[in-house]
């Protein structure tokens, strides 16, 4: 893998905004602005590297499903430390029942440390419930590749087509019977950046390509019929299929959270069992089940163990908030967020690689490999100045050489 310098397209800001990346500018606390989309560079991967990362991601996914079953089984064991997932008991039971039913899942994103074939590949975490970065990974970087390099260069990116195929698989019985299912796509209006709306738009577009009838919905428009024990949308029609870009750990603590099990007519995407994969307790469960595995970092639930250098992460943290680092490279104090009371994991500190730019400034990438169903179909690469990939990181497109 190498980082190459590229000349940005004239008018690239308008181009990426027209493709759904309306949230490219990030403002620093001091008032300076960083462009999230960065096409002054690209990361070049070989086919052998893509093959390795695909196989590593699919192996991690298989192991994660086993860890989800382990966490589900531990919920009925009195005194088990693995019951401490920062979730109410009714939510955990909902997740267990969903896993037992085998409710189908859509997608997810691994965050991996990777610097090339001579360095170890390590899992940082699995964003398997509401992964961000879909618009830029599935759509925007593809159009960048076409505009700048054309058909003669490939890119590791089959994400959108895979999402379309996955929607067909999820609703195969309805589609085969000539009954196109109706799916509501919901997000919260509290996100002022537009990222949630654009992410849902990509997923809805993929579903429409699959033959699914799609309708939009805001989370605040969802109601509950207390007589029929069913959820309804803005038009008071009953919901039958709902994709909600809303974290399950937040969903189950809403006022209607305890009512979710009462409506057995509604299919949720993502399913409730994704709570076992989206928690930062997952890497700890993986290390417990597969100690010493070459793709894993030592990780422990609510305990540092014998780690001398470590990263403390809240179980439900997002975008780098509330992360604390102790290492020989220097300590990092947490940026205050709303997470932490639910518990933490301690993960062995692992230095991110650095691909300095022409000016010598650091660029520390994390590779987000995208899973659709049980297979890996592409990568989105975000880079930061420091050891935490936060809301001020930069997205850089990829090519295959």
> Cα-atom radius of gyration of the chain, to the nearest Å?
21
- Paired sense of beta strands 310-314 and 324-326, if any: antiparallel
Q: Which two tokens stand for residue 21?
A: 């990346």
Q: Which burial class, exposed, middle or buried, applies to 114 when counting CB atoms under 10 A from its CB (0-12, 13-18, 19+)?
A: buried
Contacts of residue 173, defined as CB under 8 A and 6 or more positions apart, other chains included, come to none
| pLDDT number for residue 29 | 67
From first to last of its 401 residues, the chain has per-residue pLDDT tens of 999 999 999 999 999 999 999 988 777 667 777 899 999 999 999 999 999 999 999 999 999 999 999 999 999 999 999 998 999 999 999 999 999 999 999 999 999 999 999 999 999 999 999 998 999 999 999 999 999 999 999 999 999 999 999 999 999 999 999 999 999 999 999 988 899 999 999 999 999 999 999 999 999 999 999 999 999 999 999 999 999 999 999 999 999 999 999 999 999 999 999 999 999 999 999 999 999 999 999 999 999 989 999 999 999 988 788 899 999 998 888 787 788 788 899 999 999 999 999 999 999 999 999 999 999 999 999 999 999 988 789 999 999 99
What proportions of the chain, in percent to the nearest 5, are helix, strand and coil? 30, 25, 45
Contacts of residue 213, defined as CB under 8 A and 6 or more positions apart, other chains included, come to 180, 181, 182, 183
CA–CA dist 161, 183 (Å, integer)? 19
| φ/ψ (deg, to 5) at 342 | -75, -10
Q: Tell me, rounded to whole angstroms, the distance of Cα 184 from its chain centroid.
A: 20
| pLDDT number for residue 28 | 66
Contacts of residue 177, defined as CB under 8 A and 6 or more positions apart, other chains included, come to none
Contact 220, 187 (CB under 8 A): no
| pLDDT number for residue 183 | 98
CA–CA dist 109, 274 (Å, integer)? 12
Residue with tokens 């189908």: 104
pTM, entire model: 0.95
| pLDDT number for residue 32 | 75
| pLDDT number for residue 161 | 98
Show the beta-strand stretches assigned E in 334-397. Answer: 344-348, 364-372, 375-384, 394-396
Domain boundaries, the chain: 2-279+354-400
∠ CA 205-208-214, nearest 5°, is 95
CA–CA dist 209, 204 (Å, integer)? 9
| φ/ψ (deg, to 5) at 109 | -140, 120
Q: Which two tokens stand for residue 165?
A: 């195929």
Contact 295, 121 (CB under 8 A): yes
What distances in angstroms separate CA 112 from CA 53, 179, 365, one per listed residue? Answer: 9, 40, 9
Q: Tell me, rounded to whole angstroms, the distance of Cα 123 from its chain centroid.
A: 13
């Amino acid at each position: 893998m190498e980082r190459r310098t590229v000349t940005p397209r004239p008018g690239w800001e308008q181009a990426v905004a027209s493709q759904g990346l309306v949230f490219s500018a990030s403002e620093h606390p001091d008032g300076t602005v960083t462009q999230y989309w960065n096409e002054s560079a690209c990361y070049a991967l070989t086919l052998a590297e893509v093959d390795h990362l695909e196989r590593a991601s699919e192996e991690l996914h298989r192991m994660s499903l086993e860890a989800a079953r382990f966490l589900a089984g531990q919920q009925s064991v009195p005194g088990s430390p693995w019951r401490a997932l920062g979730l109410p008991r009714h939510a955990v039971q909902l997740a267990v029942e969903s896993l037992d039913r085998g409710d189908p899942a859509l997608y997810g994103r691994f965050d991996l440390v990777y610097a090339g074939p001579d360095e170890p590949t390590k899992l940082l975490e699995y964003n398997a419930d509401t992964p961000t970065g879909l618009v830029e990974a599935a759509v925007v970087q593809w159009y960048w590749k076409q505009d700048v390099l054309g058909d003669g260069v490939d890119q590791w990116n089959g994400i959108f087509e895979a999402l379309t195929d996955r929607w067909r698989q999820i609703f195969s019985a309805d589609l085969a019977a000539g009954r196109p299912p109706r799916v509501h796509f919901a997000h919260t209006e509290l996100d002022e950046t537009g990222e949630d709306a654009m992410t849902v738009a990509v997923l809805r577009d993929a579903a429409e390509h699959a033959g699914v009838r799609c309708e939009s919905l805001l989370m605040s428009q969802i109601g509950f019929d207390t007589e029929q024990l069913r959820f309804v949308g803005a038009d008071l029609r009953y919901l039958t299929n709902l994709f909600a870009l809303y974290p399950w750990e937040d969903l189950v603590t809403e006022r209607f959270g305890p009512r979710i099990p009462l409506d057995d007519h509604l299919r949720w995407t993502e399913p409730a069992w994704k709570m076992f994969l989206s928690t930062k307790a997952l890497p700890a469960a993986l290390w417990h089940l597969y100690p010493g595995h070459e793709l894993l970092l030592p990780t422990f639930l609510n305990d540092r163990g014998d780690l001398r250098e470590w990263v403390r992460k809240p179980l439900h943290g997002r975008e780098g908030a509330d992360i604390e680092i102790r290492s020989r490279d220097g300590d990092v104090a947490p940026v205050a967020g709303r997470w932490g009371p639910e518990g933490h994991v301690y993960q062995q500190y692992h230095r991110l690689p650095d691909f300095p730019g022409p000016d010598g400034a650091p660029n520390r990438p994390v590779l987000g490999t995208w899973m659709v169903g049980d297979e890996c179909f592409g990568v989105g690469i975000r880079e930061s100045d420091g050891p935490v990939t936060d809301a001020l990181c930069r997205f850089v497109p990829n090519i295959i050489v």
